[in-house]
Structure 1
Amino acid sequence: MTGRARGLLVAGTSSDAGKSVVTSALCRAMARRGIRVAPFKAQNMSNNSMVVPGPDGQGAEIGRAQWVQALAARAEPETAMNPVLLKPGSDLRSHVVVRGRPFGRLAAGEFAGERAALARAAHTALEDLRSRYDVVVCEGAGGVAEINLRAHDYVNMGLARAADLPVVVVGDIDRGGVFASLYGSLALLDPADQALVSGFVINKFRGDVSLLGPGLDALGRMTGRPVLGVLPWQRNLWLDSEDSLALADREHDPAATPVLRVAVVQLPRISNFTDVDALCLEPDLRVDFVTDPRPLASADVVVLPGTRATLSDLEWLRSRGLDTAIAEHARRGRTVLGVCGGCQMLGRAIHDPEGVEGAAGRRADGLGLLDLETVFTRDKVLRLPSGEGLGVPVGGYEIHHGRIRAGRGEPFPGGLRDGTVFGTMWHGSLEHDAFRGAWLEAAAETAGAEGGRFGKVGFTAAREARLDLLADLVEEHLDMDAVLRLVTDGAPALPTLRGELR
């Protein structure tokens, strides 16, 4: 393909319908066909993010999903692929990142004036990508028919209209009501938006696809649009997920006997929970996400992950008695790991003099398991550090406002160690196989469990295999020729549901 870049928008009937998965799959499938393809999401709302090189050579931040989609596309991740990132700090307010850098805060009701600047940033970024790639596969956000937000939308149909993109809508059959969701999503759109909706994809189907035949035919007749494919349900497609809804998809084999049990505290504002994806790949671990103290009693390892609201989540931790349970776990000589916000919670105190997380001057005592203090500053740290830990090379990425001051204890990559309690400000360190293996071997020795079994799974190879699996699925179960025709020719002339079809 040559000339001006083509594009496609992958929208969904709801959050976690499979937009990110389908976008990743299409990126890898097109890349394998020799097409220069890039992913794009105008606005992502997620606390899972990744550091990439910025235009000025400094670190910049994009949604984790777009970083993975860039890997799927075999393209270099960059800020244009996710120009606007909203990181929820509460139910009503989000921190805004534009082209990789902090931009300000946005309240739930602030649409017109504030979002106009965000829309301009998104449209400029898309045009930039389209000038440099053959195809740009765009991902929508939430549900395609969020009619309460349509007036100022620049992520779903607003983006499709502005860029003249054909739209494919993905529905999740596993949650039920997929035909109603697909039909209803189309019916709620105005005629000009409907004209760009060019087909449907059904995701997460279990069973004999022939049983869907009557429904697929009826949906095609009623809407005038084809179902381009039915993707089967597959285990373990959650790797690198950005959506907290996908935490429930992290399944384990109930018949397996784990060497170690890992309890990950599921904080209300959990961020970068992809840090534990590498643990979930270890065949001799059982990893559970927990919200109350009882499972900690039988756990060998407790992980406190990152959070977008360290002080608020620390209050939540105490309100549920998890602070006492974690301290007791450490007192028994069992392993505790805190990552970023979790590391800060393990320290002696947290200070927020400038009000980065809320009211200025807030202070809270930490759990006191590590001799460190945290001070929040307005300037955000965005880095890709590397070094050595536990005798092996290790790296990661840093995304935080809190600066830690470490006291007594052993140095640990990005933080501090005191016996069996570890704290690091580096996300992604467990993706390094040798380092993960060394840390788990130490945890096994502490627990009196069998060692020599960890770090054998290659995390990067597992991710690549997953991306190729996704491409295989769309090549087999999706009409890729029809998808590429949409990319080449745009949306065909199609009827609306307000008229003769009603």
Structure 2
Amino acid sequence: MSGGLLVAGTTSDAGKSVVTAGICRWLTRKGVAVAPFKAQNMSLNSFVTREGAEIGRAQAMQAQAARVEPSALMNPVLLKPGSDRSSQVVLMGKPVGEMSARGYHGGRQAALLDTVVGCLEELRGSYDAVICEGAGSPAEINLRRTDIVNMGIARAARFPVLVVGDIDRGGVFASFFGTTALLSAADQELVAGYLVNKFRGDVSLLEPGLDMLHGLTGRRTFGVLPFRHGLGIDEEDGLRVSLRGAVRESTVAPPVGEDVLRVAVCAVPLMSNFTDVDALAAEPGVVVRFVDRAEELVDADLVVVPGTRGTVRALEWLRERGLADALARRAAEGRPVLGICGGFQVLGEHIEDEVESRAGSVDGLGLLPVRVRFAREKTLARPVGEALGERVEGYEIHHGVAEVAGGEAFLDGCRVGEVWGTHWHGSLESDAFRRRFLAEVARAAGRRFVPAPDTCFGALREEQLDLLGDLIEEHADTDALLGLIEKGAPAGLPFIAPGAPS
């Protein structure tokens, strides 16, 4: 096999990320060497590769689905929003500056096409197949001229396009037709057909509509994927605890102890890498919820202040909503608080920021003896260490440099009483450490909670990836998909007026 496919969507959150991962896992199980690819990703959920490159977490998850090591080649352009109008541009895993949306789409984006095509060609030279994920919708005709992630990359690579639609939202037939009709004739030539996602009910009731869609567009539907709970693993920025639904439906045993642990995650502005709490949600007897009001912390056994792309803004938000005072009361009462990355920084005494917010000197919450200075160079690392007597692996993505002036050492951060802070994302995925940490939380909270001795977060993630592969294998026309990947879009696909200008 040699070829590829672009998985596009009628909208954002149509299911492109999970469909791409499912196709990667299905092909891998067939013995095909496959790699994922997304030319340009906009997300605050990112990951650090072994070579120290920052890429979207969705592409790291897709690489795991393909059973290959994630690489910057798989996501050469990552945009990390810092406001409604500007983003940090990460190119080939390294930040190259801030840019407004107008500035980016006004010229910089088109100049990156050679870079992303080069990355794609390098992957094609190393793998049997490359499964690309689009962004948003390919029918965003206002952005088509500078597009490098949807039809722009499909045209450059001559890849067939599979358009995914979320039928659970409604209007999927109109979305399929409209998406195709808005494309230029040259773009339409590559749209091979459609994939229905999140269908509930009897597929036979859908078939007349699929036949009519084929008659209207000349394009077939390659499968109807049923609705499944708990399949939103490591997507871009959807606010969900990804494995929670899956754990409920799995064979994981009920809580070992008599109590459950209640975890409240402060939903700070520009929240990043909130996937850190997925490992907590995977534990039997741990309930995780996102909160934005002080009263929602009252019954929490653990409060997590997660990462953020706007540390000073998050600090202001915590104060405005009374959450800062609630966190201070918890610390005084010896009730557990965990700050991760930006959340760690806000728990400190002082922040000096001339880089991210340019706010200068700002007082932190003063719960940890830490002073933070923002450096222009971003720290990107994959540290390994020890905490609570257990081995811990993590990854770091931050501009803030922390100077720790006291407390007990904790994963290059510190602990004072029951307030913990670290820059390490992903540390809770280390099973033995997570169990020891939860036992500490339960003790401090006065809960009769006992962590399950055999919960393996990595195994649960693999189980999810296998479920995605099963969805493709069982509910898509896999022979037809293989034909697309090997041979490209069928010749002679009809043009649907009106079409958008090239």
Q: 2-side partners of 1:282 and 1:209: how far apart?
A: 35
Question: What is the CA-CA distance between 1:234 and the residue it aligns to?
Answer: 1.1
Unaligned runs of 5+ in 1: none
CA distance in 2 between counterparts of 1:186 and 1:17 reads 16
Find out whether 1:237 has 2:223 as its counterpart: no
Q: The residue matched to 1:109 in structure 2 has which SS?
A: helix
CA distance 1:95–1:455, change in 2 (3 Å): farther
> Any idea what the Cα deviations from partners look like across 1:104-157, whole Å, max 9, x if unmatched?
122111224211332221111111111111100000011121111101001001
Partner of 2:399: 401
Matches within 5 A, 1:45-444: 45-54=42-51, 59-110=52-103, 111-246=105-240, 259-352=260-353, 355-359=354-358, 362-444=360-442
Shift of 1:451: 3.2
Q: Work out whether residues 89 and 97 of structure 2, in 8 Å CA contact, stay in contact via their aligned partners in 1.
A: yes
Is 1:491 the counterpart of 2:465? The answer is no
Matched-pair contact (CA < 8 Å) for 1:347–1:367: yes
What do the CA deviations read for 1:204-252 (whole angstroms, capped 9, x no partner)? 1122222212221111111111111111111111232322354699559
Q: Aligned equivalents of 1:144 and 1:283: distance in 2?
A: 41
CA distance in structure 2 between the partners assigned to 1:249 and 1:459 by the alignment: 9
Of stretches 130-139 and 183-192 in structure 1, the one that deviates more from structure 2 is: 183-192
Q: CA offsets per residue over residues 41-70 of structure 1, 9 Å max, x none?
A: 00010111111133xxxx111111111111
CA drift of 1:92 comes to 0.5
**How far has the Cα of 1:363 moved from its partner?**
2.0
Q: Please tell me whether the aligned partners of residues 312 and 357 of structure 2 are also in contact (alpha carbons under 8 angstroms).
A: no
Structure 2 CA distance for partners of 1:46 and 1:438, relative to 1, 3 Å? same
- Over 3 Å counting, the alpha-carbon distance change for 1:140 and 1:481 in structure 2 is same
- Distance in 2 (alpha carbons) for counterparts of 1:165 and 1:455: 47
Q: In structure 2, how many angstroms separate the alpha carbons of the residues matched to 1:143 and 1:268?
A: 25
| SS in structure 1 at match of 2:338 | strand
Q: In structure 1, what is the Cα distance between the partners aligned to 2:293 and 2:320?
A: 10
Give the corresponding residue for 2:13.
16
Could you tell me how far apart the structure 2 residues matched to 1:440 and 1:184 are? Answer: 50
Determine the C-alpha separation between the residues in 2 that align with 1:267 and 1:358.
Answer: 15
Alpha-carbon deviation of 1:371? 0.7
C-alpha distance 249-430 of structure 1, shift in aligned 2 (>3 A): closer
1:445-497 deviation per Cα after TM superposition (whole angstroms, max 9, x unaligned): 11111133246310111111111111011000001111110111111121111
Distance of 1:258 and 1:186 partners within structure 2: 53
* 1:250-304 C-alpha deviation (Å, 9 max, x unpaired): 5597x99961110001112000111011011112011001112121111111000
Contact 1:88 1:94 in 2 (8 A): yes
Cα distance change, pair 270–484 in 1 and its aligned pair in 2 (3 A): same
Asked if the contact 2:3–2:124 (Cα under 8 Å) also holds between the matched residues in 1, the reply is yes
Quick one: which amino acid aligns to residue 80 of structure 1?
Answer: L
Provide the C-alpha distance between the structure 1 equivalents of 2:200 and 2:243, rounded to a whole number of angstroms: 15
Per the normalisation by structure 2, the TM-score is 0.94
The answer to whether the Cα contact below 8 Å between 2:310 and 2:357 also exists between their aligned partners in 1 is no
3-state SS in 1 of match to 2:7: strand
Residue 479 (structure 1) aligned with residue 477 (structure 2)? yes
Q: Is the 8 A contact 1:384 1:395 kept in 2?
A: yes
Aligned partners of 1:384 and 1:398 also within 8 Å: yes
Tell me which residue corresponds to 1:38. Answer: 35
Q: Unpaired segments of 5 or more residues in structure 2? A: 249-253
For residues 157-194 of structure 1, give each alpha carbon's deviation from its aligned partner in whole angstroms, at most 9, with x where no partner exists. Answer: 11111111100000111122111111111111111111
| Coordinate RMSD, CA, aligned | 1.9
CA distance in 2 between counterparts of 1:85 and 1:408 reads: 36
Amino acid of the structure 1 residue aligned with 2:325: T
**Hey, what's the Cα distance between the residues in 2 that align with 1:297 and 1:119?**
51
3-state SS of paired residue (2:206): helix
The one-letter code matched in structure 2 to 1:28 is R
CA contact (8 A) 2:243 2:282 kept: no
Q: Deviations over 1:53-108 (max 9, x none)?
A: 33xxxx11111111111111111211100000101111111001111111112211
Aligned amino acid, residue 12 of structure 1: G
C-alpha contact 2:407 2:416 (8 A) present in aligned 1: yes
Amino acid at match of 2:349: R
* Corresponding position of 2:251: none
Tell me the distance in 1 between the aligned counterparts of 2:400 and 2:453. Answer: 30
Residue identity opposite 2:188 in structure 1: Q
Structure 2 CA distance for aligned equivalents of residues 320 and 250 of structure 1: 27
32 and 50 in structure 1: CA distance in 2 versus 1, 3 angstrom threshold: same
Say if 1:350 and 1:366, in contact at 8 Å, map to a contact too: yes
Tell me how far apart the structure 1 counterparts of residues 84 and 114 of structure 2 sit (CA, whole Å). Answer: 25
CA change 1:177–1:337 in 2 (3 A) is same
Q: Secondary structure at the match of 2:357?
A: coil
- Partner Cα separation in structure 1 for residue 259 and residue 413 of structure 2: 29
The 2-side partners of 1:459 and 1:144 are apart by 35
Q: Is contact 1:386–1:396 with CA below 8 Å preserved after alignment?
A: yes
TM-score of the aligned structures, taking structure 1 as reference length = 0.94
Letter in 2 for 1:424: T
Deviation string for 1:402-443 (max 9, x for gaps)? 000111210111310011100010000000011111000010
2:199–2:226 Cα contact (<8 Å) kept: yes
Higher relative contact order (CA 8 A, sep 6+): 2
Take 1:319 and 1:450, find their aligned partners in 2: how far apart are those partners?
A: 34
Structure 2 counterpart SS, 1:127? helix
> Is the contact between residue 410 and residue 418 of structure 1 (CA under 8 Å) also seen in structure 2?
yes
